Amino acid sequence: MDFFGLYLTAITKFNESCLSLHDIQNKSHNNTKTRNTTILNSQNIMGFLTNEKLLIVGAGGMIGSNMAQTAMMLGLTPNICLYDIYEPGVHGVAEEMYHCAFPNANITWTVDPEVAFKDAKYIISSGGAPRKEGMTREDLLKGNCKIAAEFGDLIEKYCPDVKHVVVIFNPADVTALTALIHSGLKPNQLTSLAALDSTRLQEALAAECGVQQCKVTNAYTYGGHGEAMAVFASEALVDGKPLSEFNISEERWAEIKHSTIQGGSNIIKLRGRSSFQSPAYQAVKMIEAAMGGEKFTWPAGCYVNCDKCGFKNVMMAMPTVIDAHGVHYCEPKGTAEEMAALQASYEHLCKMREEIISLGIIPAVADWKSENPNL
Amino acid sequence: MDFFGLYLTAITKFNESCLSLHDIQNKSHNNTKTRNTTILNSQNIMGFLTNEKLLIVGAGGMIGSNMAQTAMMLGLTPNICLYDIYEPGVHGVAEEMYHCAFPNANITWTVDPEVAFKDAKYIISSGGAPRKEGMTREDLLKGNCKIAAEFGDLIEKYCPDVKHVVVIFNPADVTALTALIHSGLKPNQLTSLAALDSTRLQEALAAECGVQQCKVTNAYTYGGHGEAMAVFASEALVDGKPLSEFNISEERWAEIKHSTIQGGSNIIKLRGRSSFQSPAYQAVKMIEAAMGGEKFTWPAGCYVNCDKCGFKNVMMAMPTVIDAHGVHYCEPKGTAEEMAALQASYEHLCKMREEIISLGIIPAVADWKSENPNL
């Protein structure tokens, strides 16, 4: 029933929406000017979830370019705008997409933020500086939070009617918080990528128990997306059986937690570059859900201001669902130990929040309402 | 009717096939050993075109890693084996795929060719050396043809029952020819990537005429995939109208051809790396077609031995369709000028063939039958 409802929503959206077509301002193949989009009233396009404009920020990078391809392959929308400050990079990615020749695609690229953000209905931003070998996510704090503040300002200025925004540049919890405050959006309209910690935990538990990865369920990480994440596995099931039946030693359990936390830096060691395929894929799946497609049930980073939980004024990973109405969260359930880990993670996030307040990137908590009345 | 027939074929395949599950030989997360596959008799898996084993050769590279992700996202098969000679690279790509947590995936990785090729039913190989800035595809001839010969030998030894193989490392026409001779496969079972020249032509014509890219049809390149490709656009339609109505000047037409031919090196200039997204996507679409999915109708490189056309004992791009029965080709139709360009391209391919014969990588044409009775 629920799925059918979503399907009807998607179909309705589809029939209401209109077609965008190439308005190619510059005919020369090798030019360095922007290709722009014109929205025309025309027939609908089959095979897409929506026709609304999806903006990919940081599209010239490895994550951004993968998101463009992933969004097309999953049939999200024909109208994708690629934006980056680095012109050759974003132009090159656009060329790659044109060479894929996706049917009915209307992929445009630009280095002009006004062109990029204008009328965007969905946005994914990977437009921060990447993490290098040896760096923690927190090292990136200052530079990337400034970028996030500008990103939020652009949303407020050019696309206040945007429906959902996913922020994936690190440290994602505080960049997303910064973007939320600056954008003026409602809390359910902006999420940050947090799923990879949980998929890494799932992978580690599957390897430990010798089962196919998808047979591990109910094992998640909550709280910060950084190294202070809280691992919740007391309710985990392995092929339907409680994880406790597998008698994992304390030593092995510590190793599993460690490998989950180090999953990202392990990719850097192995590939010589930051992970890009998995963040791109998960971020696009989050936007797909916000467009009314398959619901996203891995944890997402979301704005939490919950007296009952004791977590106030932070973005953090919680048990969440993303659907066409945005992100919804509930309170995590776990052992005393798990809840204590979550509390510690929350406190770490508060510390990072205070740091960006003291840097002047966001106002003091008491003044947030003046920037964003929805908070 | 035809589509429905294909659909039935896919469903039948699906019901006949069996499930593979992880047999994780090493439980440690950060180990460098192979993860292997065991074929088990079990229930079918929904949402895939087939359950048969797809092998990706060169999976540690940029093209290979994108192919793995693309194959999963397009729902080709849960059973994908990633193979590369560079262990950290292929291990890192596997980790990225595990972090995507594709439902029902059974993605394995190995550096052991026997494990990789054993029982593979579909193979895509990007396992050659990449083209660097300034290099032509032909510069790669010698090294990559040796790799192609070994690749063909591995097919013959470990998976003679493979159904379809796509070769995409350059110069693809001669690497694919070399692989075909060494593999013992039938000509309709092995294709090489040639579509990107045609999608680049489509893009250039769309930009010239100011229409959406998919509105340009019947414009293709045939012959060699190198710089001696033959452009066929005399029958091209732009939004249903003959291209001739657009009065493209000779000068502009020369520029369009040039930009089509330079499409690959343009990407290198812009992105600082060889194109990888578009070749990966198109190659996976070719395998999807061979698995009984959507037919592939962009030109593919295929073995041509046709007295009527005058083209003998080469792999070259032709008007082709790939479907569950493999690749089918017909004779290109064009103006005298286009046919002359194709003849020149063919002669260039014959010259490259003679070069690898003289290098001892493949036998003289008269002796091919002793290596591969299907030729």
The neighbour count for residue B223, using CB atoms within 10 Å, is 31
CB contact under 8 A, A214 and B281: no
CB-nearest to A202 from B30, B101, B270 is B101
pLDDT of chain B, 375 residues: tens digit per residue:
333 333 333 333 333 232 232 333 233 333 334 444 444 333 446 789 999 999 999 999 999 999 999 999 999 999 999 999 999 999 999 999 999 999 999 999 999 999 999 999 999 999 887 666 777 766 778 889 999 999 999 999 999 999 999 999 988 999 999 999 999 999 999 999 999 999 999 999 999 999 999 999 999 999 997 678 999 999 999 999 999 999 999 999 999 999 998 888 899 999 999 999 999 999 999 999 999 999 999 999 999 999 999 999 999 999 999 999 999 999 999 999 999 999 999 999 999 999 999 989 999 999 999 999 999
Q: What is residue A184's three-state secondary structure? A: coil
Q: What pLDDT digit, counting tens, does each position of A50-71 carry?
A: 999 999 999 999 999 999 999 9
Q: What pLDDT digit, counting tens, does each position of B41-91 carry?
A: 334 467 899 999 999 999 999 999 999 999 999 999 999 999 999 999 999
Which CATH number characterizes residue A42's domain? 3.40.50.720
Report how many Cβ contacts below 8 Å link chain A to chain B.
189
Which run of H or of E encompasses A327? strand A326-329
Q: What is the ipTM of this complex?
A: 0.88
- Chain A positions touching B266 (Cβ under 8 A) are 29-30, 92, 95
- Chain A positions touching B214 (Cβ under 8 A) are 101, 103-105
Copy the structure tokens of residue A37: 């989009």
The neighbour count for residue A262, using CB atoms within 10 Å, is 16
Q: What is residue A301's three-state secondary structure? A: strand
CB contact under 8 A, A22 and B206: yes
CB contact under 8 A, A29 and B212: no
- Are residue A215 and residue A175 in the same domain, yes or no? no
Copy the structure tokens of residue B354: 């003679």
Higher-confidence position of A261 and A152:
A152
- Chain B positions touching A105 (Cβ under 8 A) are 212-214
Residue B300 lies in a domain: yes
CB contact under 8 A, A92 and B270: yes
Measured in Å, how far apart are chain A's first and last C-alpha atoms?
33
- Are residue B156 and residue B286 in the same domain, yes or no? no
Output the CA angle B308-B309-B315, nearest 5 degrees.
125
Q: Is A99 on the interface with B (CB under 8 A)?
A: yes
Q: What pLDDT digit, counting tens, does each position of A85-127 carry?
A: 999 999 999 999 999 999 999 999 999 999 999 999 999 999 8
CA dist list (Å): A224 to A134, A173, A312: 19, 7, 14
The domain boundary, picked from A143, A175, A193, lies at A193
Residue A7 lies in a domain: yes
Beta-strand relationship, A237-238 and A216-217: antiparallel
C-alpha–C-alpha distance, residues B22 and B68, integer Å: 17
C-alpha–C-alpha distance, residues B235 and B248, integer Å: 14
Q: Is B24 on the interface with A (CB under 8 A)?
A: yes
The domain boundary, picked from B163, B193, B223, lies at B193
- Chain B positions touching A104 (Cβ under 8 A) are 212, 214
The domain boundary, picked from B167, B193, B219, lies at B193
Higher-confidence position of B12 and A251:
A251
Which run of H or of E encompasses B285? helix B277-290
- Are residue B108 and residue B254 in the same domain, yes or no? no
DSSP for B330-342, please give it: ------HHHHHHH
- Are residue A92 and residue A209 in the same domain, yes or no? no
Cβ contact B116:B55 at 8 Å: yes
CA dist list (Å): B147 to A96, B176, B260: 26, 11, 28
Kindly give, in sequence order, each residue whose CB lies less than 8 Å from that of residue B257, ignoring residues fewer than 6 positions away: B231
Q: Does the pLDDT value for residue A287 go beyond 50?
A: yes
Interface residue of B66, B80, B95, B274 to substitute, partner A, most A CBs within 10 Å:
B95
pLDDT at B195: 97
Kindly give, in sequence order, each residue whose CB lies less than 8 Å from that of residue A127, ignoring residues fewer than 6 positions away: A57, A58, A61, A64, A83, A84, A85, A147, A151, A169
For chain B, what percentages of helix, strand and coil (3-state, to nearest 5) are there?
45, 20, 35
DSSP for B198-243, please give it: HHHHHHHHHHHHTS-GGGEES-EEEB-SSTT-EEE-TT-EETTEEG
- Chain B positions touching A67 (Cβ under 8 A) are none
CB-nearest to A74 from B73, B101, B106 is B73
- Are residue B214 and residue B163 in the same domain, yes or no? no
Using pLDDT thresholds of 50, 70 and 90, give the confidence band for residue A137: low
Q: Is B80 on the interface with A (CB under 8 A)?
A: no
Residue A374 lies in a domain: no
Measured in Å, how far apart are chain B's first and last C-alpha atoms?
33
Residue A366 lies in a domain: no
Q: Is B31 on the interface with A (CB under 8 A)?
A: no
The neighbour count for residue A204, using CB atoms within 10 Å, is 27
- Chain A positions touching B281 (Cβ under 8 A) are 69, 73, 100
DSSP for B31-50, please give it: --SPBEEEE------TT-S-
Cβ contact A308:A229 at 8 Å: no
Kindly give, in sequence order, each residue whose CB lies less than 8 Å from that of residue A2, ignoring residues fewer than 6 positions away: none
B positions 208-227 inside 8 Å of A (CB): 208, 210-214
Residue B364 lies in a domain: no
- Are residue A89 and residue A180 in the same domain, yes or no? yes
For the full predicted model, state whether its pTM sits above 0.90: no
pLDDT at B8: 32
Residue B158 lies in a domain: yes
C-alpha–C-alpha distance, residues A106 and B144, integer Å: 36
- Are residue A53 and residue A16 in the same domain, yes or no? yes
Nearest residue in chain A measured CA to CA from B78 = A212
Cβ contact A303:A183 at 8 Å: no
Which residue from A73, A138, A83 is spatially nearest to A109, judged by alpha carbons?
A83
Place of tokens 């070259």: B316
Which CATH number characterizes residue A267's domain? 3.90.110.10
In the chain, the amino acid numbered B92 is G
- Are residue B188 and residue B199 in the same domain, yes or no? no
CB contact under 8 A, B95 and A214: no
B positions 297-356 inside 8 Å of A (CB): 298
CB-nearest to A70 from B73, B206, B269 is B73
Which residues constitute the domain of residue A128?
A: 3-193
pLDDT at B226: 65
Residue B319 lies in a domain: yes
C-alpha–C-alpha distance, residues A338 and A221, integer Å: 10
- Are residue A326 and residue A204 in the same domain, yes or no? yes
C-alpha–C-alpha distance, residues A55 and A72, integer Å: 12
3-state secondary structure A193-239: ECHHHHHHHHHHHHHHHCCCHHHEECCEEEECCCCCCEEECCCCEEC
- Are residue B138 and residue B204 in the same domain, yes or no? no
pLDDT at A226: 66
- Chain A positions touching B206 (Cβ under 8 A) are 22, 24
C-alpha–C-alpha distance, residues B236 and B247, integer Å: 13
Kindly give, in sequence order, each residue whose CB lies less than 8 Å from that of residue A233, ignoring residues fewer than 6 positions away: A201, A205, A219, A243, A338
Nearest residue in chain B measured CA to CA from A78 = B212
C-alpha–C-alpha distance, residues B27 and B29, integer Å: 6
Structural domain count of chain B: 2
Copy the structure tokens of residue B233: 């656009």
Q: Does the pLDDT value for residue A354 go beyond 90?
A: yes
Q: Looking at the complex, report in whole angstroms how far the Cα of residue A27 sits from the nearest Cα belonging to chain B.
A: 5
Q: What's the average model confidence in pLDDT over A33-42? A: 42
Residues in a beta bridge with B329:
B320
CB-nearest to B100 from A97, A98, A281 is A281
Q: Is B196 on the interface with A (CB under 8 A)?
A: yes
- Are residue B27 and residue B92 in the same domain, yes or no? yes
Interface residue of A91, A99, A247 to substitute, partner B, most B CBs within 10 Å:
A99
- Are residue A156 and residue A219 in the same domain, yes or no? no
The neighbour count for residue A333, using CB atoms within 10 Å, is 11
Q: Is B98 on the interface with A (CB under 8 A)?
A: yes
Residue B366 lies in a domain: no
pLDDT at B40: 36
- Chain A positions touching B95 (Cβ under 8 A) are 203, 263, 266-267, 270, 275
C-alpha–C-alpha distance, residues A197 and A298, integer Å: 10
